[in-house]
A and B are shown apart, each in its own frame.
Chain A
Amino acid sequence: MDGLKRTPLYDEHVALGARMVPFAGWEMPVQYAGIIEEHLAVRQRVGVFDVCHMSEFRFFGFDAKDALQRIVTNDLGKIDELGRAVYTVMCDEDGGIIDDLIVYHTGDLEYLVIANAANHDADWDWITSHLPASVEAVDESDRTGLIAVQGPQALRVIGELVGEGFEPPSRFSIAEARLGGIPVLLARTGYTGEDGVEIVCHASNAVAIWRLLLSFPEVQPCGLGARDTLRLEMGYALYGSDMDRGVDPISAGLGWAVSLGKGDFIGCEAIARIKEVGPKQRLVGLVVDEGVPRHGYPVLQGETEVGKVASGTFSPTLRQGIATAYVPAALASPGTELGVAIRKKVSKAVVVRPPFVKGTSLDKAAS
């Protein structure tokens, strides 16, 4: 696969028999044992994911917080306490979403931003073009390894690797730790709906950490296929499918990640206007009777097309097709009966409020 980048774990994937596919300019494992098997391993035990392809940017200086505040929609005042993290999007002046990201307050006057691999160049250009000279920005993507460990048993596995006195960081926090002696940051975040961590490490240590994790027989290596079914069961938005530059965060159901009261930021006027008049379209969840809905399939009310599937898959937990779709706001109420055109047939679909799957280990950790 010419011209594709490889993560530090490439040889590990090949040795494990993974099926490799091109994704966002990277050669990535889509599955090892099978998407459903990996998916259920994460829901029931623990799985590990190579997410080294993602972007890591670091920002330093007295002005770093205020500068980032102007770029992202959420309020970084929520993470003033060292080690806290927050999910946010960043938008253009029209409120169009450039990317979604997590901002971690990793040190005194220091922030770590983790963002989508597909948007690496666009993100870096956008952020750095809006930073004052007083803020130092470093693109650490190539030097940073990122491994997600997710599932009801994830924290037990991490605890055994850290050893005596392990205290997991609280939800949406990040903390220094050593795994088998290797220095890492443990972020209590993820994209699966299960409890767990994302391990931030030096790229040169990624293989050693991956092997430590897989030394536990209960740990299942998982590919991008299971990552997608897991995140969609939770209704987590995926950039490029559920949102892009043509969509604002209110329509995308991400109003909770926008703080209009925090002061000026890029896109705030446009977003405030949309919020005031209400979005024309809304991203909803759909549970489909028969067949598997996929990106781009028409969504129907009666025989009229009213939208298109944004993300769609087969839910391994529900054993049923699930999707997200943009539909007119009047059709966005849970219980609304629609249809999805799955090639020659129309399958019944009903609007639901995600998550599609409830009662995961994350729910239990939160309660």
Chain B
Amino acid sequence: MYPADLRYDREHEWVRLDGDVATVGITDYAQDQLGEVVYVDLPSVGDEVVAGDSFGEIESVKSVSELFSPVSGEIIEVNDALADSPELVNSSPYEDGWMIKVRVADPDAALDGLMTADEYEAFVSEEA
């Protein structure tokens, strides 16, 4: 149900590691809970993020939530398409709705402590 090539955190973000570049977004479960996303506030390229810290905010019609980074490093790209089309987070949470790309310092350790797809699925079913 959740893509097997991604890792997940307890705040419902996913991360895809390619070399030393980690792409981050929110899961299908998270976007469904939020409802239609109308605004995504993302950091700037060059900012540093720390695993577990807030890197931005996401708003639906009814609510606002913080976005937490599952990894630490320097932001090298943000998804500018979300400024005009925040609904991409709903329609394509793992592809077009990605949020930030982070260059991680230590790729070998970057995913430590994050959940696999199976673990995340079990985590979500406990929370629901």
Which A residue's beta carbon lies closest to that of B87? A36
A314–B38 Cα gap in the complex (Å)? 7
Residues of B within 8 A of A31 (CB): 35
B33 to chain A, nearest CB (A): 9
If A34-B35, A292-B39 touch, whether A343 touches B62 (CB-CB below 8 Å) is: no
Contact B39 A35 (CB under 8 A): no
Contact B36 A292 (CB under 8 A): no
Contact B61 A35 (CB under 8 A): yes
Choose among A36, A225, A294, A316 the residue that contacts B64 (Cβ–Cβ < 8 A). A294
Q: Does B74 contact A (CB under 8 A)?
A: no
Residues of A within 8 A of B96 (CB): none
Q: Does A30 contact B (CB under 8 A)?
A: yes
Choose among A35, A37, A291, A321 the residue that contacts B62 (Cβ–Cβ < 8 A). A35
Interface hits, B31-55 → A, CB 8 Å: 35-36, 38-39, 41
Residues of B within 8 A of A229 (CB): 61
B125 to chain A, nearest CB (A): 18
Contact B57 A343 (CB under 8 A): yes
B36, B39, B57: which has the most chain A beta carbons within 10 Å?
Answer: B36
Contact A225 B61 (CB under 8 A): yes
A291–B59 Cα gap in the complex (Å)? 8
Contact B61 A36 (CB under 8 A): yes
Which B residue's beta carbon lies closest to that of A343? B57
Task: Indicate with 1 or 0, residue by residue over A226-251, a CB within 8 angstroms of chain B CB atoms.
Answer: 00010000000000000000000000
Contact A36 B59 (CB under 8 A): no
Q: Does A313 contact B (CB under 8 A)?
A: yes
Which secondary structure dominates chain B's binding surface?
strand
Residues of A within 8 A of B38 (CB): 36, 292, 314, 319
Q: What is the size category of the interface that chain A forms with chain B?
A: 10 to 19
Residues of A within 8 A of B61 (CB): 35-36, 225, 229, 292, 313-314, 316
B81 to chain A, nearest CB (A): 15
Number of interface residues of B (CB under 8 A): 11
If A31-B35, A35-B36, A292-B38 touch, whether A314 touches B57 (CB-CB below 8 Å) is: no
Interface hits, A1-51 → B, CB 8 Å: 30-31, 34-37
Residues of B within 8 A of A343 (CB): 57, 64
Interface hits, A265-314 → B, CB 8 Å: 290-292, 294, 313-314
Which secondary structure dominates chain A's binding surface?
mixed
Contact A291 B41 (CB under 8 A): yes
A313–B38 Cα gap in the complex (Å)? 10
Residues of A within 8 A of B41 (CB): 291, 345
A292–B61 Cα gap in the complex (Å)? 8
Residues of B within 8 A of A345 (CB): 41
B36, B38, B57, B61: which has the most chain A beta carbons within 10 Å?
Answer: B61
A222 to chain B, nearest CB (A): 13
Contact A314 B35 (CB under 8 A): no
B78 to chain A, nearest CB (A): 15
Which B residue's beta carbon lies closest to that of A19? B35
Task: Indicate with 1 or 0, residue by residue over A316-328, a CB within 8 angstroms of chain B CB atoms.
Answer: 1001010000000
Which B residue's beta carbon lies closest to that of A224? B62
Residues of A within 8 A of B35 (CB): 31, 34-35, 225
Contact A314 B39 (CB under 8 A): yes
Contact A291 B39 (CB under 8 A): yes
Interface hits, B1-48 → A, CB 8 Å: 35-36, 38-39, 41
Residues of B within 8 A of A290 (CB): 39
Closest 6 pairs between A and B when the two form their complex, measured CB to CB = A314-B38, A35-B61, A36-B36, A292-B59, A34-B36, A314-B61
Extra 20 A-B pairs, beta carbons < 8 Å, given A292-B64, A313-B61: A30-B62, A34-B35, A34-B36, A35-B35, A35-B36, A35-B61, A35-B62, A36-B36, A36-B38, A225-B35, A225-B61, A225-B62, A290-B39, A291-B39, A291-B59, A292-B61, A294-B64, A314-B39, A314-B61, A343-B64
A residues apposed to B, CB below 8 Å: 30-31, 34-37, 225, 229, 290-292, 294, 313-314, 316, 319, 321, 343, 345
Q: Can you identify 8 A-B contacts, CB atoms within 8 angstroms?
A: A30-B62, A36-B61, A225-B61, A225-B62, A292-B38, A314-B59, A343-B57, A345-B41
